[in-house]
Amino acid sequence: MTPDALQPVRDHIASRIIGQQRFVDSMLVCLLSDGHLLVEGMPGLAKTTAVKALADSIEGDFHRIQFTPDLLPSDLIGTDIYRHEKGEFEFREGPLFHNVLLADEVNRAPAKVQSALLEAMAEQQITVGQRTYPLPDLFMVLATQNPVEQEGTYHLPEAQLDRFLMQAVVTYPTRDEELLILELDASEQQRNEVVPPKRLSQQELFAIRRAVSAIYIDPKLLSYIVDLVQATRQPKLYDDALARWCRFGGSPRASIALARCARARAWLDGDEFVAPHHIQLIAPEVLRHRLLLTFEAEAEGITTDEFINRLLNLVAIP
């Protein structure tokens, strides 16, 4: 399988979204790496539209659920319904049993809902009472959150943040891109029919994932990945400023995520092996939600991306 197999998916997303190439690439890397994506951005930046465009391009069921403070775990998982004619309970599946799940404003849900989502993301299964139900082979969570509006929100626990393979940050479009957005909106209003996109089958997707997992990574680059993650835990070995800024670093899951995403990035670029620039390109998305900065860093206005960029400049490339 070659990157051309994903061209219909790219074309459909490009027909709905102007710009945001890094965000689109993050969605594709997560899809090919069998991971989940956390999307952060201001309202109105087409986060939901992009996720829907991706889901429309893939064979499978899609469901969007708006997370609210009164949401219950059963609203996600499903519940047992008593069938009087049978005299027994029957399980009715919830939104988690869809292939692609958009969790809109995920940080508005309370802790019990977060824990239900955590089990699904971590184990690809859910538990109801004493029974465990497997989720589909193709199961991807794309969760959005607003970075500024904190009223009525619940902080995502670090354990759940770590289950997201990547965190994408969606920024404002440029002036030229915004003009194109207005043109796209006008053309969509005048369009009578929407032509359904050519959908990528699940068999094709799984074949692509096997091709991605076969991408070669040199042992020296595996050591480089480990050095990067180790440096988030022991920053004092590299720089005093890094040591002041970071409280907690990435876990071994971060190293695994870096290797998997680097393979997917190399495959998307049409390369047969991973190079250092593939690792550096996806490092911010893989690491930014796994680091916890100090109060001193926040007082100095240091962001996780600035910490990661400094880290990439200090850790030697083999």
Q: What is the CATH number of the domain that holds 230?
A: 1.10.8.80
- Shared domain check, 19 and 114: yes
Domain that holds residue 239: 215-314
Residue listed under structure tokens 């030697």: 316
Assess if residue 112 is contained within a domain: yes
**pLDDT score recorded for residue 259:** 97
> Quick check: is 195 in a domain?
no
Say if 199 falls within a structural domain. no
Asked whether residue 302 is assigned to any structural domain, the reply reads yes
Q: Does the structure show a pLDDT above 80 at 311? A: yes
pLDDT at 16 over 90: no
**Cα gap 166→155, rounded to integer Å:** 17
Q: Please write the tens of the pLDDT for every residue from 98-151.
A: 999 999 988 888 888 888 888 888 888 888 777 888 999 999 999 998 776 555
Q: What rounded mean pLDDT belongs to the chain?
A: 89
Contact 100, 50 (CB under 8 A): no
Q: How far apart are CA 162 and CA 97, in angstroms?
A: 22
Query: Would you say residue 206 lies in a domain?
Result: no
* Percent over 90 (pLDDT), the chain: 48
What is the mean pLDDT of the segment spanning 212-227? Answer: 96
Whether residues 140 and 262 share a domain: the answer is: no
Note the pLDDT of residue 33.
95
Please tell me the pTM assigned to this model: 0.90
CATH code, 151? 3.40.50.300
Lowest-pLDDT range of 34-48, 71-85, 210-224: 71-85
Are residue 222 and residue 295 in the same domain, yes or no? Answer: yes
Angle at 207 between CA 206 and CA 212, to 5 degrees: 95
pLDDT digits (tens, 9 = 90+) for 171-194: 899 999 899 989 888 887 776 556
**CA 52, CA 302: separation in Å to the nearest integer?**
33
Percent over 70 (pLDDT), the chain: 96
Residue 44: what pLDDT? 85
Instruction: Provide the domain count of the chain.
Output: 2
177 and 238 inside one domain: no
The alpha-helical segments, DSSP class H, found in 33-157 are 47-56, 73-77, 111-123
Lowest mean pLDDT across 8-17, 156-165, 253-262: 156-165
Break the chain down into helix, strand, coil percent, rounded to 5: 50, 15, 30
- Flag whether 196 is in a domain: no
| Same domain as 288, residue 219 | yes
